[in-house]
């Protein structure tokens, strides 16, 4: 059996990396309705092992661990400190947003009614960005414009 040299091993690893695909992800996003793109995307890969471990622990929902309002505030203050123009200004609930999660046996995308007229276009963007093999849209008023985390509401 021949051992690869360090150079050969490095070349082989580089060749294999070209075929590496992102695992499906859970995460959050905003949608820029003027540019028709997702922005502020935060995601993490979800592996079959993670899904099985969650099921073994009786956890039916695998989610991204941060809230929109946290990311929005962080990006707003970062832009302020660097004197940059940013999309992260104003009320985060006034910008179309959503969340990708895993539940029992499927990915779901939680969005508000803002997404219904652009569902097909949005589905393509989400499939690409989050590497989703399939998913269902779940509409909920929490994700409608002007709605948000209960701690943010008067």
Q: How far is CA 62 from CA 33, 110, 151, in A?
A: 28, 13, 22
The predicted pLDDT at position 93 comes to: 93
Residues 98/115, Cβ–Cβ less than 8 Å? yes
Query: For 19-47, how does the pLDDT look when each residue is reduced to its tens digit (9 = 90+)?
Result: 567 889 999 999 999 999 999 999 999 98
Residues 122/42, Cβ–Cβ less than 8 Å? no
Average pLDDT, the chain: 90
The pTM assigned to this predicted structure is 0.82
**Strand 106-111 with 136-139, pairing:** parallel
Residues 40/29, Cβ–Cβ less than 8 Å? yes
Q: Between 18 and 62, where is the model more confident?
A: 62
Query: pLDDT-based confidence at 8, cuts 50/70/90?
Result: confident
Query: For 141-152, how does the pLDDT look when each residue is reduced to its tens digit (9 = 90+)?
Result: 999 998 876 555
The predicted pLDDT at position 4 comes to: 74
How is 109-123 classified by DSSP, letter by letter?
EEE-GGGGGGHHHHH
């Amino acid at each position: 059996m021949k051992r690869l040299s360090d150079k050969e091993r490095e070349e082989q690893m580089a060749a294999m990396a070209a075929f590496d695909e992102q695992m499906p992800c859970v995460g959050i996003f905003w949608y820029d309705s003027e540019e028709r793109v997702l922005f502020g995307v935060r995601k993490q890969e979800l592996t079959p092992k993670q899904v099985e471990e969650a099921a073994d622990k009786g956890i039916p929902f695998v989610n991204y661990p941060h809230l929109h309002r946290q990311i929005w505030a962080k990006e707003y203050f970062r832009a302020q400190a660097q004197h940059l123009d940013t999309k992260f200004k104003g009320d985060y609930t006034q910008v179309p947003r959503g969340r990708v999660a895993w539940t029992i046996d499927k990915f779901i995308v939680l969005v508000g009614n803002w997404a219904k007229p652009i569902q097909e276009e949005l589905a393509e963007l989400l499939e690409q960005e989050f590497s989703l093999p399939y998913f269902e849209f779940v509409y909920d008023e929490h994700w409608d414009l002007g709605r948000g985390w209960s701690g943010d509401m008067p």
